[in-house]
Chain A
Amino acid sequence: MTLSPRRLAIDYGLLILLAGLVAVFAVAEPAFLRVNNLFSILQAVAIVALLGVGVTVTMIAGGFDLSVGGLAAFVQMAAAYSLVVLDGSTGSAILLCLGLGILVGLGNAVLIVRLGIPDLLATLGMLFLLAGLQLVPTGGRSIAPGLILLDGSTAQGTFTDGFLALGRHRVWDILPVPVLVLAVVAAALWLVMAWTRFGRVFYAIGGNELAARLAGAPTRLYRVAAYVISATVASIGGILLAARIGRGDVSAGNGLMLDAVAAALIGHAVLGANRPNILGTVVGAVFVGVLLNGLTMLNAPYYLQDLVKGAVLIGALAVTYGLAPRRA
């Protein structure tokens, strides 16, 4: 098969663009290429990429999960509450967060798979619910050590060093823990989705649920699993978020959801996959991260960020939907 320019654009367009960006930034600002800076970029995108990976799992199964941003923010508050207000240990905080994540995933699954509410609507509802719920225990205030509680007493706990390390420690002084977590989670899910029969069934359900069911797959179970995976991954993101900022911030979740969904959508265009895929989502998140980091280094104004993200997203969608072959 010959590689037409169009095919080349579809398969490698985004990667070529990424390489081009890196080259331009490296020339304009040599500090850009320093290993430390590259890992900072990855550190900055790790949480968004994680959430995006979760969304991707639901998209592969033909669904959607808008609640991941709200869930990550909610979990971040829960971690802070557990550590600071309840004076809990690192382990108990993590377990609480993962447990909450699984519960929310099951909740989404009940709404979507059991009650048949369209996925966008159900997870949008869940998003609002969680965004509101995180404010209740503290009356809408952020959580930091020494917080004055609603009953007038002072919170006794602090963020443990072990917990903070999750967000701040660098393995061998170079590799940030969140990046490591992202690598492990994304690699595991990529292997499942691309190389196992289970992943194949997830894709088949996304393609035609009835056909997958007639082929004998327990499709409802798979769809429940997709939402639980998505929520669990999002709650891991929430834990990392809490560990990075070192307190429970009521506004920490702003923008997370949109960035994660954008990464997943940009990922469609990676390597001509033309469908949701885990690796593509990570590349999508990194792409946006590189762009923002480079522009910041070149002193581009902060307010241009959303503009840039929007342009990248639309460009990627144009490749996915406009260039790729489709039936009239």
Chain B
Amino acid sequence: MTTSAVPPALAMRGLVATFGPTRALDGASLTVAPGTIHGLIGHNGAGKSTLIKVLAGLVTPQAGTIALDGATVTGMTPGRAEALGIAFIHQERLLVPTATVGEALFLGRESAGSRFGIRRGSLRRRAEAALERVFGVTLPKGALIRDLSTAQQQIVQITRALLADPKILVFDEPTAALAQREVEHLFAAIRRLKAQGLTTLYISHYLAEIEQLCDTVTVMRNGRDVAHVDPRQVPEGGLAQLMIGRPVTELYPRQRAAAGEPVLALAGVGVGPGVRDISFTLRRGEVLGLTGLLGSGAKDLVRALFGLAPITAGTVTVDGQAARLKNPTEAVRRGIALVPEDRRAHGVALDLGIRENLTLASLGRLSRWGWLDREAERRRALDLIGELQVKTGGPDAPVRTLSGGNQQKVALGKWLAREAHLYILDEPTIGVDIAAKAEIYRLIAEAAGRGAGILLLSADPDELLGLCDRILVLFRGTIVAEHEAAGTDAGTLLQAALTGGRGAAGAASTVPAHAA
């Protein structure tokens, strides 16, 4: 058999899907050759998630066809998709919050995991073996899904999909919540399965990942596929231009604000048993990066700073005054703004309108004697929608109807609407497209220029290096390294995050891929 006779593993043609007046898909097509890793990129709201929801049978298209291995499939349903060997990791995490990890991985598919040699033992032992095998991680014993961090939940969701032994695996921004080491594990697993004949469809806004991983790329814009390229043939910045329709110049703002008075000072701070002896000072106008792997304690520290978890040791000084941050209300009153990582769960009220979400943190400024100035509120909301390029039919549409990246923009915009002294940003650009990223970076730099202090949590070394003045690396609950952004590189940061800075300096530029 010659290769030209092999039909595509997946061929979607001329798909149209509408939500009320919105045309999410407007004649989109996608062809994926068997045994390849196929990238799918596009701006926020381009229709990527809708396209794969059509494949999953979650959205019924008004027009268009789907063919698998050359055979047309009509009336796709989720059950059908599973039976045909297509597994999905959707953008929204879809796990039962009260299930145990073992149940989440294996329930409903008792025979799963043969490809990984995991078939025997109790549910919990099989779960541990599977997670160890795929990601090299162990999760707390008997933990329920709702007790896990965003990253841990994502790991469970990916492992569940891998255990299904699918023929086609579809990822919708799988790495948004993951740190570098887990990403490497995931890529190793995908490549290993590719060698066994698996076909992968991979959606991401991290264009570097796409270039590194994918054999071919389909670019979507406004509900249509507009380009089909080999990522290795595209010049630097080319993918971004194809997606946005214009070149993205200057992703990171150039000017730096001068550092002023300290706005946040920590001395010997501890949070529970996991985080110990954290000391640093953040000055006005400064962007301070904070990074670390899953379990490094960075998230716990940030939660405590916002009054969501008790600080158990040391002192915190905000604007020169000792602060006991007992609850978020107290933190907000002190001028602290938090953009949480899991924005669907913590950042937005999905059933309220975009306007109501955007202005929630600045109602005081938009009202007099408690009376809302609706006109001012509307203007503020429209400004933010414009600045952040939120793709929507109007300011009163429920946030639920926005694409994933546009929901993130709303969660972030809520805080940009309010001028705080100290912004704590936990992965502020997860899931947003490159044009919006540039805009968010500009807004962050602008806030710093106004004299706010910025604490930026990020797992993306480029983002840290491009935006921060200084970067702190956490490892097992303590600060192990502090770098001037100008005097370090991605490899050094990763090395410190992986080994606690005790590794050999020579190994800094390569990331060890643990998976077999």
B329 & A200 in contact (Cβ 8 Å cutoff): no
B372 & A200 in contact (Cβ 8 Å cutoff): yes
- The interface residues of chain A lying within 8 Å CB-to-CB of B333 are 216
- The interface residues of chain A lying within 8 Å CB-to-CB of B371 are 195-197
When C-beta atoms are compared, the residue in chain B nearest to A197 turns out to be: B363
Q: Quick one: which of B338, B351, B400 contacts A214, CB cutoff 8 A?
A: B338
When C-beta atoms are compared, the residue in chain A nearest to B371 turns out to be: A196
When C-beta atoms are compared, the residue in chain A nearest to B332 turns out to be: A216
Can you show 30 pairs from A to B with CB atoms below 8 A apart?
A195-B371, A196-B370, A196-B371, A197-B366, A197-B370, A200-B356, A200-B360, A200-B363, A203-B349, A204-B356, A207-B351, A207-B352, A207-B356, A208-B346, A208-B349, A210-B345, A211-B346, A211-B348, A211-B349, A211-B411, A213-B327, A213-B328, A214-B340, A214-B346, A215-B328, A215-B361, A216-B333, A217-B329, A217-B360, A325-B19
Against B, the Cβ 8 Å flags (1 = close, 0 = not) of A177-204 are 0000000000000000001111011011
When C-beta atoms are compared, the residue in chain A nearest to B362 turns out to be: A215
A210 & B346 in contact (Cβ 8 Å cutoff): yes
- The interface residues of chain A lying within 8 Å CB-to-CB of B367 are 196-197
CA of A207 to CA of B400, assembled, Å: 11
CA of A326 to CA of B15, assembled, Å: 21
- The interface residues of chain B lying within 8 Å CB-to-CB of A208 are 345-346, 348-350
- The interface residues of chain A lying within 8 Å CB-to-CB of B411 are 211
Q: Closest approach, in angstroms, between the C-beta of A95 and any C-beta of chain B?
A: 27
- The interface residues of chain B lying within 8 Å CB-to-CB of A196 are 367, 370-372
- The interface residues of chain B lying within 8 Å CB-to-CB of A217 are 329, 360
B59 & A328 in contact (Cβ 8 Å cutoff): yes
In the complex, B317 has a CB within 8 A of chain A? no
CA of A198 to CA of B370, assembled, Å: 7
In the complex, A275 has a CB within 8 A of chain B? yes
A-B contact sample (11 more), CB < 8 A, given A197-B370, A217-B329: A196-B367, A197-B371, A204-B349, A204-B356, A207-B350, A208-B349, A210-B346, A213-B329, A214-B328, A216-B361, A217-B360
CA of A212 to CA of B345, assembled, Å: 11
Q: Quick one: which of B19, B370, B374, B414 contacts A215, CB cutoff 8 A?
A: B414
Residues of B within 8 A of A (CB): 19-21, 53, 58-59, 306, 327-329, 331-333, 338, 340, 345-352, 356-357, 359-361, 363-364, 366-367, 370-372, 374, 400-401, 411, 414
A215 & B332 in contact (Cβ 8 Å cutoff): yes
Q: Closest approach, in angstroms, between the C-beta of A90 and any C-beta of chain B?
A: 33
B360 & A327 in contact (Cβ 8 Å cutoff): no
CA of A200 to CA of B377, assembled, Å: 12
- The interface residues of chain B lying within 8 Å CB-to-CB of A216 are 328-329, 331-333, 361
Q: Closest approach, in angstroms, between the C-beta of B139 and any C-beta of chain A?
A: 23
CA of A211 to CA of B347, assembled, Å: 5
B352 & A214 in contact (Cβ 8 Å cutoff): no
- The interface residues of chain B lying within 8 Å CB-to-CB of A210 are 345-346
In the complex, A218 has a CB within 8 A of chain B? yes
When C-beta atoms are compared, the residue in chain A nearest to B363 turns out to be: A197
When C-beta atoms are compared, the residue in chain B nearest to A206 turns out to be: B349
When C-beta atoms are compared, the residue in chain B nearest to A326 turns out to be: B400
- Whether A203 contacts B352 in the complex (CB less than 8 A), given A196-B367, A197-B364, A215-B332, comes out as yes
CA of A216 to CA of B345, assembled, Å: 16
- The interface residues of chain A lying within 8 Å CB-to-CB of B400 are 326-327
- Whether A327 contacts B401 in the complex (CB less than 8 A), given A197-B372, A213-B328, comes out as yes
Q: Closest approach, in angstroms, between the C-beta of B19 and any C-beta of chain A?
A: 7
When C-beta atoms are compared, the residue in chain A nearest to B346 turns out to be: A210
- The interface residues of chain A lying within 8 Å CB-to-CB of B357 are 211
B360 & A215 in contact (Cβ 8 Å cutoff): yes
CA of A197 to CA of B371, assembled, Å: 6
- The interface residues of chain B lying within 8 Å CB-to-CB of A201 are 360, 363
When C-beta atoms are compared, the residue in chain A nearest to B348 turns out to be: A211
A204 & B352 in contact (Cβ 8 Å cutoff): yes
CA of A207 to CA of B338, assembled, Å: 19
CA of A214 to CA of B329, assembled, Å: 7
A-B pairs, top 6 by smallest CB distance, nearest first, are A207-B349, A216-B332, A197-B363, A208-B349, A215-B361, A207-B352
When C-beta atoms are compared, the residue in chain A nearest to B394 turns out to be: A1
When C-beta atoms are compared, the residue in chain A nearest to B345 turns out to be: A210
When C-beta atoms are compared, the residue in chain B nearest to A210 turns out to be: B346
- The interface residues of chain B lying within 8 Å CB-to-CB of A211 are 346-349, 357, 360, 411
B360 & A212 in contact (Cβ 8 Å cutoff): yes
- The interface residues of chain A lying within 8 Å CB-to-CB of B352 are 203-204, 207
Q: Closest approach, in angstroms, between the C-beta of A205 and any C-beta of chain B?
A: 9
Q: Closest approach, in angstroms, between the C-beta of A73 and any C-beta of chain B?
A: 34
B360 & A204 in contact (Cβ 8 Å cutoff): yes
CA of A204 to CA of B359, assembled, Å: 11
Q: Quick one: which of B53, B332, B350, B356 contacts A203, CB cutoff 8 A?
A: B356
CA of A299 to CA of B359, assembled, Å: 53
- The interface residues of chain B lying within 8 Å CB-to-CB of A207 are 349-352, 356
Q: Closest approach, in angstroms, between the C-beta of A328 and any C-beta of chain B?
A: 6
CA of A214 to CA of B388, assembled, Å: 21
Q: Closest approach, in angstroms, between the C-beta of B358 and any C-beta of chain A?
A: 11
